[in-house]
Structure 1
Amino acid sequence: MTDYDVIADAIGLSDAARSLAAGEGPVAVDVERASGFRYSQRAYLIQVFRRGAGVFLFDPPPIGDFSALQEAIGGEEWILHAASQDLPSLRELDLEPVTIFDTELAARLLGHDRVGLGAVVADTLGITLAKAHSASDWSTRPLPQSWLEYAALDVEHLVDVRDALAAELEAQGKTAFASEEFQAVLDRRPKPPREDPWRRLSGLHTVRGRRSLAVARELWIAREEYAQDQDVSPGRLVPDRSLVAAVLADPATKKDLAAVKDFMGRASRTQLDRWWAAIERGRAATSLPLERVPGDSLPPPRAWADRNPEADARLKAARPLVEGRAEELGMPTENLLTPDLLRRVAWSPPEDITAEAVGDALQELGARSWQVAQTAQLIADAFVESVQGADEAPDDAS
């Protein structure tokens, strides 16, 4: 087993940056976080590989300033697997590529049955990667050598994987598709924070009454603040189900809260004062949350026949055509056009049902040009056919 050193200071970073700058071709980059263990999504290890330079492992917290690495490789193509997961952590460190090749996304566009990194490496190179440490706590220090070897292998083969997938894309006529998708991932920015993030509490649907929702809100906020302060994943302090159990139990006293059997978690008792104070704030709140909040989500398709029968007919006419085109192209339907985009344009179609108008509507919703080119005419034809079918249907009243 190769022994890997972790670079943890500015001098080591500078030396590595010079080596990487002198390498050749694209740069493979990967990030290890401590998701499920820490509150933040910061990077706890960054792995970089380039032909002619080798593998380098960086420890972000003690290094801090990565400007030397950005200067060395920022202008090159970066190869990442599931880039949308790693780019936010890299951007926190001002590490930003100008162009990327996403091996997971490429595998999806090519119709690979399995798109995890290990599966893609096996399918393209015939090499088996051990995934034993994929869910480990990467904030652990020192990092064991077995973990470092796993991390290094994640990038060591990525350039060869990229070349194999690029050849497949070219052979299938999908190189332009992939380029648009990669650019869309690179251009995508984080969604704005949810207005009521506490409503994502698992099990909240079992809570009834605005006052009880206010208590749930205050418990969530108290847990969030403590988790952020401790840099611990909120669910490791008190799981969602425990917060909801506390709300449903409606304890009369702090002692009653401590006696709630389902109120569990490593901080459920050590921070009992914190949780009881949150419950009291919720009970005293003058601004109570609504039980139901309006959103921009559409009704579930099963309800369309009653609520919007014309939209239901449009969706039922277009969906099999889009699925058929995806099958012809050898890719999952959701990569050709996400179901949400099709539903939205079916629910609120353009006034004039033409391929151009449908295409404009899809692009406004976020579809890429290649997706529009492959689907707009099919969707427009299906929408027109659904109207004609309704016009020709026998009148039940006659």
Structure 2
Amino acid sequence: MTPNIPENTTAGDPAAETAPHITVEGFESPIPEVIELDTPREGVPLVIETAAGLERCAAAIAAGTGPAGVDAERASGFRYGQRAFLVQIRREGAGTWLIDPEPFDNLDIINDALSGVEWILHAASQDLPCLSELGMWPERLFDTELAARIAGLPRVGLAAVIEQLLGFGLAKEHSAADWSTRPLPEPWLRYAALDVEVLAELREELIELLAADGKLDYAEQEFAAILAGGVAPPRVDPWRKTSGLHQIRDRRQLAAVRELWLERDSLAQKRDVAPGRLIPDSSLVAAAKAMPTTVPQLLGTKGFHGRAAQREAPRWLRCIATARAMEDLPPLHLPTNAPPPPRVWADRDPEAAARLATARPALQELAEKLNLPLENLLTPDTLRRVSWRPPAEITAEGVAAGLLALGARRWQVELTAPLITEAFLNPQPLPPKEPRQPVAVAGQ
């Protein structure tokens, strides 16, 4: 297959015959000298920001053919939440469209235009949540990042995959920009359009690569699982994901972190700014550990800083005072059905530790043979859970049922269940524990 080549290049260049090749499990593809992809084929599109423009966009996309490349740009680290501030779509026969979602309640009309169309996204799990907030959700999906992982490519970022398979260089200098900026600078718009410029060609290359290696069905099952899973529900007690929370060992200090986090989140939402731009997580933890009683004490707390640290100091101090007077304190740890950390298994359940220690290298060997990342062959969490609580009767059927119940895909179960069953039936003995060295006491 031949990707679209920029006008300043020549298809069939004799130099391509001596160009370097990429080989993945028997599939060899010539890679010409890298050509910088710096200008969209039809030029930089205008940004759609009116109802009439959105209708034209929807009509063009609906009249196009084949799959549609889709991408979204957020303003993570700048604005509150993870909403999209620009949506890019490219489809054969329709060209590239850039949509500003901010003037619209939703993009239902665009979703309708894409009805029945396969969407091509890179790292779909990152963009699908913000697209779903706009009323957009694909019926069919091809994730180029996930496909590249399953194909065994050494690097799976969009620019790297495009370079490896298509021979184009794609700059990513604006990936962390503040996409809530208005108007968006022309270089950013060019960058955004290029993100979907060759997704269709990239999909074709990846399909060929996966099919040659017998992995296309693996990828299709993964794409279907993403769609079936939908958007994850809101996290319970999101404040417990505060970076550095492991430093807190006191329930009252934990309550202070919670009060500070909730207040910061409320203020951030009101101001539409990323919470960490007010005060970072490290400041929440530092203030909770110190539990100051006055504003000077708070501002003098080592590690307490941020643009809203001094200006909003009374607000943060009230949170700490609330936690200090609280009677119903949060537990240090929430109940969970997850296994304990594997490092303690040998003491708590040596048989489970032996099962895990035997199964893991067997799966690693299989992953290397298949040229797959181990975490894509079977997630570490799934292996830990089935090792900690194996089926009552350890048979290939029982292990397979257990893996399916934990969310493993059919292809993963077919490949791993026999190895896991063998490991569970014949676990290797754990190495003997090294005796503890006596602690030296001064003067003895």
- What is the TM-score of this pair, normalised by structure 2? 0.85
Matched, 1:49 2:57: no
Show the counterpart of 2:220: 179
Residue 248 of structure 1: how far off its partner (Å)? 2.2
**Residue 279 of structure 2 is aligned to residue 279 of structure 1:** no
SS for the counterpart of 2:249 is: coil
Shift of 1:377: 0.8
Which portions of structure 1, spanning 4 or more consecutive aligned residues, are displaced by more than 4 angstroms? none
Asked if the contact 1:213–1:289 (Cα under 8 Å) also holds between the matched residues in 2, the reply is yes
Q: Is residue 341 from structure 1 mapped to residue 382 from structure 2 by the alignment?
A: yes
Cα distance in 1 for partners of 2:359, 2:304 equals 48
- The answer to which structure has the higher helix fraction is 1
1:305-327, CA deviations, whole angstroms, 9 ceiling, x for partnerless residues? 11111111111111111111111
The answer to which of 337-346 and 261-270 deviates more is 261-270
Local SS of the residue matching 2:398 = helix
The CA deviation string for residues 247-280 of structure 1, in whole angstroms up to 9 with x for no partner, is 2222221232133342111111121221111111
TM-score scaled by structure 1?
0.94
In 1, distance between residues paired with 2:58 and 2:168?
28
Q: Which amino acid aligns with 2:154?
A: D
1:91 aligns with 2:155: no
Q: CA deviation at 1:237?
A: 0.6
Q: Answer yes or no: is 1:225 the counterpart of 2:266.
A: yes
Letter in 2 for 1:240: D
Q: Which residue of 2 aligns with 1:370?
A: 411
User: For each residue in 1:280-300, what CA deviation from the matched residue of structure 2 results, as whole angstroms up to 9, or x when unmatched?
Assistant: 111111111223333233222
Q: What are structure 1's unaligned runs of at least 5 residues?
A: 394-398
Structure 2's unaligned 5+ residue stretches are: 1-38, 433-444
Is 2:366 the partner of 1:325? yes
Shift of 1:331: 0.8
Match of 1:239 among 257, 272, 280: 280
Match of 1:290 in 2: 331
Which residue in 2 is equivalent to 1:313?
354
Q: 1:110·1:168 contact (CA, 8 Å) conserved in 2?
A: yes
Distance 2:182 2:241 in 1: 32
> Which of the residues 155, 173, 189 maps onto 1:148?
189
Matches within 5 A, 1:4-15: 4-15=45-56
Answering whether residue 291 of structure 2 is matched by residue 258 of structure 1, we say no
Identify if the C-alpha distance between structure 1 residues 65 and 210 changes in structure 2 by more than 3 Å, giving closer, same or farther. closer
| Counterpart-to-counterpart distance in 2, 1:224 and 1:246 | 16
How many correspondences in the alignment? 389
* Alpha-carbon separation, structure 2, partners of 1:350 and 1:252: 54
Q: Which secondary structure state, in structure 2, belongs to the residue aligned with residue 363 of structure 1? A: helix
Please name the residue that 2:145 is paired with.
Answer: 104
1:190-221 Cα deviation digits (max 9, x unpaired): 44434332222222222332222221211111
Alignment-derived partner of residue 300 in structure 1: 341
| Cα distance in 1 between the residues matched to 2:57 and 2:246 | 52
What do residues 40-99 of structure 1 show as CA deviations (whole Å, max 9, x unaligned)?
A: 111100000011111000000113332221121121000000011111111111111100
User: Per-residue CA shift, 1:363-395, capped at 9, x if unaligned?
Assistant: 000000000001101110111112xx66xx9xx
Quick check: 1:16 aligned with 2:57? Answer: yes
In 1, are the aligned partners of 2:144 and 2:202 still within 8 Å (CA)?
A: yes
Q: Deviations over 1:172-196 (max 9, x none)?
A: 1111111100011111134443433
**164-173 or 198-207, which moves further after superposition?**
198-207
| 1:74/1:95 contact within 8 Å kept | no
User: Residue 376 of structure 1 aligns to a residue in which SS?
Assistant: helix
Residue identity matched to 2:171? A
Whether the 8 Å CA contact 1:223–1:234 is kept in 2: the answer is yes
CA RMSD of aligned residues (A): 1.5
